[in-house]
Amino acid sequence: MTPVLDLQGVAFAYPDGHQALFGVDLHVHPGERVALLGPNGAGKTTLVLHLNGILSAESGHGEGSVSVSGLPVTRKNLLEIRRRVGIVFQDPDDQLFMGSVRADVAFGPANLGIKGAALERRVMDALEQVGMAGFADRPPHHLSFGQRRRVAVATVLAMEPEILVLDEPSSNLDPASRRELADILRGLDVTLLMVTHDLPYALELCPRSVVLSGGRVVADGRTYDVLTDDELMRAHRLELPWGFDPRTVPVDSLPG
Ligand SMILES: Nc1ncnc2c1ncn2[C@@H]1O[C@H](COP(=O)(O)OP(=O)(O)OP(=O)(O)O)[C@@H](O)[C@H]1O
pLDDT of residue 215: 97
Read off the pLDDT of residues 78-114 as tens digits, 9 standing for 90 and up.
Answer: 999 999 999 999 999 888 989 999 999 999 999 989 9
Q: How far is the CA of 215 from the centre of ligand 1 (A)?
A: 9
Question: SS3 string of the chain?
Answer: CCCCEEEEEEEEECCCCCEEEEEEEEEECCCCEEEEECCCCCCHHHHHHHHCCCCCHHHCCEEEEEEECCEECCHHHHHHHHHHEEEECCCHHHCCCCCCHHHHHHHHHHHCCCCHHHHHHHHHHHHHHCCCHHHCCCCHHHCCHHHHHHHHHHHHHCCCCCEEEEECCCCCCCHHHHHHHHHHHHHCCCEEEEECCCHHHHHHHCCEEEEEECCEEEEEEEHHHHHCCHHHHHHCCCCCCCCCCHHHCCHHHCCC
Domains in the chain: how many in total? 1
Ligand 1: residues with CB < 6 A are 14, 16, 18, 20, 38, 40-46
Task: Check which CATH number belongs to the domain holding 203 and give it.
Answer: 3.40.50.300
Pocket test for ligand 1, best of 36, 45, 91, 165 (most atoms within 8 A of CB): 45
User: Residue with the nearest Cα to atom 30 of ligand 1?
Assistant: 41
Residue 155 domain boundaries: 5-253
pLDDT of residue 255: 86
pLDDT of residue 60: 63
Q: How far is the CA of 23 from the centre of ligand 1 (A)?
A: 16
Q: How far is the CA of 126 from the centre of ligand 1 (A)?
A: 32
pLDDT of residue 249: 86
Read off the pLDDT of residues 212-228 as tens digits, 9 standing for 90 and up.
Answer: 999 999 999 999 999 99
- Low-confidence residues of the chain, pLDDT below 70? 60
